[in-house]
Structure 1
Amino acid sequence: MNPFRTRPLRRVLIGTVATVSGVSALLALKPHTQTTVTPQAAAQPATPSATPGTAEPSSSASASASASASSGAAAVTKKITGDAIQTRYGPVQVQITLTGGKLTAVDVLQVPEDNPKDQQINDYAVPVLKQEALTAQSASIDSVSGATYTSDGYTRSLQSALDKSGN
């Protein structure tokens, strides 16, 4: 004789215990949290020594720059301001520095900073966009996830500055 047929309460009790155990096991799992990067931490990988992939090109670029400086030919440095691009959340504008025709710096003149959320997004996105632009030496860079409007304004302003420079 099957004990479950004669004792239906036992079946209910076992089912309840299994359900409670399963739910408590699910609740014990830790949810994924998004890590936030402080502007200082985001800026650190931009140094050539901190990023193994960029150490070679940067050191050879500095070697060629020092070689041209020692040969007497001074590299011309130009600063060009890109157009202010109006995005959904506010204007984005960059200024580029070209040294000897090479993109050496991208400075942000304007980004949306009306509220803490804008500041948080841009504190993360701007250093990433800057590093990508310097690595690519163009405005053909990827957007930063979660900062689509800033990324779009940044690349459009960067492209307008590059267009003004003739590069």
Structure 2
Amino acid sequence: MHALNKNRPLRRVVLASAATVSGLVMLLALKPHTPPRIVAAPAPAPSGSASAPAASGTSPAAGSGGSPSAGKSTGTTTVTGESAQTRWGPVQVRITVRSGRITDVTAVVYPTENPRDQEINSSALPQLRSEALAAQSADIDTVSGATYTSDGYKRSLQSALDSAGL
């Protein structure tokens, strides 16, 4: 005897209703990769133009040269690149330049909202940092498994290098 026997239409209605309710419950139970509050985070990123992050990044180093070009010849300058929006969240890089060379690269903003983001970035960011220091440019390889973070890192790094005049 078949479950959807035409002699028992009430059974078909009950099974169809149960399947519809189950499907609706499963659909509503799906959670997005990032919490809804991350959607509001990109709003400040457009207001920070290329000149605003550079200015805030160089302010702490004003004693060693207020402008990026002055830091290039006289001392150490710290420049923060533009925030690069990626699929999983913003990525922003700060560089330290001494005598025209990149001496340090730090990711100041990157996705950390869930354990998977933390796992990916804990291995990808040190690789990206070492490649940037070795290359002395934003022409670095993408880290496998961290494509979006790598792309955002490179865009922010290039923005910082442009602001520093390198």
* Structure 1: tracts of 5 or more residues without a match: 1-73
Tell me the alpha carbon deviations over residues 65-103 of structure 1, each in whole angstroms, 9 at most, x when there is no partner: xxxxxxxxx951000000000100000000000000100
**SS in structure 2 of the partner of residue 94 of structure 1:** strand
RMSD between aligned alpha carbons?
A: 1.0
Segments ≥4 residues shifted beyond 6 Å: none
Counterpart in 2 of 1:145?
144
Normalising by the residue count of structure 2, what TM-score does the alignment of the two structures yield? 0.56
Give the count of matched residue pairs: 94
Provide the secondary structure at the position in 2 that maps to 1:145.
coil
Does residue 134 (structure 1) correspond to residue 147 (structure 2)? The answer is no
Which secondary structure does the structure 2 equivalent of 1:92 belong to? strand
CA distance in 2, matches of 1:119, 1:133: 21
Separation in 1, partners of 2:160, 2:144: 24
Per the alignment, residue 162 of structure 1 pairs with: 161
- Alignment match, 1:108: 107
Instruction: Give the fraction of aligned pairs with identical amino acids, expressed as a percent.
Output: 59
In structure 1, C-alpha distance between the alignment counterparts of 2:121 and 2:139, rounded to whole Å: 19
CA distance in 2, matches of 1:134, 1:102: 9
| Aligned residue type for 1:149 | Y
Mapped partners of 1:102, 1:123: distance in 2: 25
Aligned twin of 1:76: 75
Normalising by structure 1, report the TM-score: 0.55
| SS of residue in 1 equivalent to 2:145 | coil
- Structure 1 residue 130: Cα displacement: 0.1
Corresponding residue of 2:117: 118
What's the counterpart of residue 84 of structure 2?
Answer: 85
Which blocks of at least 5 consecutive residues in structure 2 are unaligned?
Answer: 1-72
